[in-house]
Structure 1
Amino acid sequence: MNQDLVLQTKIGHEETLQKFLHTIGRKGVIKEPCAVRLQRMNREEFETRWAGKCRALQIDANWIEPSLKLSQFKLFATDMDSTFLNLETLDEMASFVGKGEDVAKITELAMQGKIHNYAESLTARVKLLAGADASIVDRLIDRHIRPNPGAEKLVSALKEAGIPMLLVSGGFSCVTEVVKARYGFTHVISNELEIIDGKLTGRVTGPFGTPIIDGRGKISYVSAYALQHGIELSQLITMGDGSNDIPMLEAAGLSIAWHAKPKVRPHAKQAFDFAPLSGLLALFS
Structure 2
Amino acid sequence: MNCSAISVARTATNGVSFNGAFHTAPVTTLTSASKGVGGVGTNNLILSCNNTSNKTINMTGNQLNQATSRTSTTKATPTAETVTVPVLVPVPVNQYLPKQPELAAKIIQQSNIVCFDVDSTVITEEGIDELADFCGKGAEVARVTKEAMGGAMTFQDALMIRLNIIRPTQKQISDFIKIRPSILTRNVKRFIEQLKADGKQVYLISGGFDCLIEPVARELDIPITNLFANKLMFYHNGDYASFDTTQPTSKSGGKAEAISLIKKQNPDALITMIGDGATDLEAVPPANYFIGFGGNVVRAEVYKRAEYYITNFEQITSNS
Please say whether Structure 1 and Structure 2 have the same fold, judged by a TM-score greater than 0.5.
yes
Deviation at 1:164, TM superposition (A): 0.7
- Kept in 2, the 8 Å contact 1:169–1:190? The answer is yes
| 2:93 alignment partner in structure 1 | 58
Q: Deviations over 1:184-221 (max 9, x none)?
A: 224001111121111223x2224xx4565334221112
Q: Distance in 1 between matches of 2:104 and 2:118?
A: 29
| 1:160 alignment partner in structure 2 | 197
Q: Distance in 1 between matches of 2:212 and 2:98?
A: 33
Deviation at 1:136, TM superposition (A): 2.1
The SS at the match of 1:264 is helix
| 2:116 alignment partner in structure 1 | 78
Deviation at 1:265, TM superposition (A): 2.9
Q: Does 1:198 align with 2:235?
A: no
Aligned structure 1 segments of 4 or more residues deviating by more than 3 angstroms? 55-58, 64-67, 209-212, 249-254
Structure 2, unmatched stretches of 5+, are: 1-16, 20-52, 58-90
Q: Deviations over 1:67-117 (max 9, x none)?
A: 93643110111111111111111111111221011112322443x453451
Q: Distance in 1 between matches of 2:232 and 2:105?
A: 44
Equivalent position amino acid for 1:154 in 2: F
Question: Which deviates more from structure 2 when the two are superposed, residues 249-258 or residues 165-174?
Answer: 249-258
Structure 1, unmatched stretches of 5+, are: 1-10, 14-50
Q: Does 1:238 align with 2:273?
A: yes
- Kept in 2, the 8 Å contact 1:238–1:248? The answer is yes
Deviation at 1:57, TM superposition (A): 6.0
Q: TM-score, normalised by structure 1?
A: 0.69
Q: 1:153 to 1:172 in 2, by over 3 A?
A: same
1:6-45 superposed matches below 5 A? none
| 2:313 alignment partner in structure 1 | 277
Matched residue pairs, number? 228
Q: Could you tell me the percent identity over the aligned residues?
A: 22
Select 2:228's aligned residue among 176, 186, 189: 189
Deviation at 1:120, TM superposition (A): 0.9
Q: Does 1:256 align with 2:295?
A: no
Q: TM-score, normalised by structure 2?
A: 0.62
Equivalent position amino acid for 2:166 in 1: L
Q: Deviations over 1:152-180 (max 9, x none)?
A: 11111111111111110111121222222
- Kept in 2, the 8 Å contact 1:109–1:115? The answer is yes
Q: 1:210 to 1:148 in 2, by over 3 A?
A: closer
CA RMSD of aligned residues (A): 3.2
